């Protein structure tokens, strides 16, 4: 009886070691998965011109996409990697990371204190600034503080409206604006043109892309009032990948790629483009 029990214990331990070995082969972190399996799934937005826009059956294109591809190439150490792109909207980014649908999110994903409770952030790879866009003929809104009692857009999962209506840390101005719901920022822009909104306020890079197809219809106030640190979202606790991504981002700025990509996607939008790398987040 004791011999059979000892054999069972030994078999159980052997199976556990085998499973552990399989886990190690697959990689317990995203950077290991990339290097061992040659594949990775990345969440991006699919409706953000110049940042990440998916048109038809092709892959998404934009600044965020190019940054993600650069980072993956660096993490792979020269190995070939297959990237699966998945749509990651404002409202579901944390859930996609937590349930393993995506390995990382590169989607104009501002690093905030509240989000850090659920996500490990690497980067930031660039700093945007919240600004405000109005119709070209608007004259009653010239600064963000003029949004008091005005109709602004509220997109699920976005913090932009909170910057207007709430106080720090995740808010900013604490103004009593009127919120109008929309599913995404392209819908916000449509509501603005249709007269259902007085302004759309969010990151200047997003506004520049959204207005680029018909710039005569819109006016950006050029009144930035926040620093939006775009980070790479990872599953909570994946510090190894966080450190590897931070090294890749540092190299991207050092070798001139960051400046090149910013010029590629925003060089003709009128934005003042950053020239220095932002300080990296601590991964611990």
Determine how many CB atoms are found less than 10 A away from the CB of residue 257: 14
Residue 12 included in any domain:
no
Residue 171's pLDDT band (boundaries 50, 70, 90)?
confident
Indicate whether 58 and 98 sit together in one domain.
yes
Residue 54 included in any domain:
yes
Indicate whether 80 and 198 sit together in one domain.
no
Range of the domain at 210: 137-220
Beta strands in 129-177, from DSSP E residues, in sequence order: 130-135, 151-154
Q: What are 175-224's pLDDT values in tens digits?
A: 999 999 999 999 999 999 999 999 999 999 999 999 987 888 999 999 99
Q: Check which CATH number belongs to the domain holding 113 and give it.
A: 3.40.190.10
Residues in the chain: 284
Indicate whether 237 and 111 sit together in one domain.
yes
Q: What are 260-269's pLDDT values in tens digits?
A: 999 999 998 8
Distances (CA, A) of 262 to 50, 133, 186, 252, 258: 10, 21, 22, 12, 6
C-alpha angle 141-142-143 in degrees, rounded to nearest 5: 100
Total number of domains in the chain? 2
DSSP class of 279: P
Residue 281 included in any domain:
no
Whether the pLDDT of residue 5 is over 70: the answer is no
User: 131 with 164: CB under 8 angstroms?
Assistant: no
């Amino acid at each position: 009886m004791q011999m059979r029990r000892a054999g069972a214990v030994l078999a159980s331990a052997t199976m556990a070691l085998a499973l552990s070995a399989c886990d190690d082969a697959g990689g317990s972190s995203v950077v290991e998965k990339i290097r061992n399996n040659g594949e990775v799934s990345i969440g991006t937005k699919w409706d953000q011109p110049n940042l990440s826009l998916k048109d038809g059956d092709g892959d998404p294109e934009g600044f965020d996409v190019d940054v993600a591809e650069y980072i993956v190439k660096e993490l792979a150490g020269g190995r070939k990697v297959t990237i699966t792109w998945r749509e990651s909207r404002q409202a579901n980014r944390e859930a996609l990371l937590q349930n393993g649908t995506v390995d990382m999110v590169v989607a104009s994903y501002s690093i905030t204190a509240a989000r850090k409770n659920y996500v490990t952030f690497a980067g930031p790879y660039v700093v945007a600034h919240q600004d405000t866009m109005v119709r070209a003929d608007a004259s009653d809104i010239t600064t963000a503080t003029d949004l008091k009692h005005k109709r602004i857009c509220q997109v699920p999962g976005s913090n932009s409206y909170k910057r207007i209506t709430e106080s720090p840390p995740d808010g900013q101005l604490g103004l009593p604006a009127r919120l109008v719901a929309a599913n995404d920022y392209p819908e916000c822009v449509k509501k603005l043109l249709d007269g259902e909104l007085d302004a759309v306020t969010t990151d200047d890079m997003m506004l520049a892309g959204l207005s680029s197809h018909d710039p005569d219809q819109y006016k950006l106030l050029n009144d930035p009032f926040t620093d939006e640190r775009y980070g790479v979202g990872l599953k909570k606790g994946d510090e190894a990948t966080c450190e590897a991504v931070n090294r890749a981002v540092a190299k991207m700025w050092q070798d001139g790629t960051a400046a090149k990509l910013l010029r590629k996607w925003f060089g003709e939008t009128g934005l003042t483009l950053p020239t220095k790398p932002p300080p990296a987040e601590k991964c611990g």
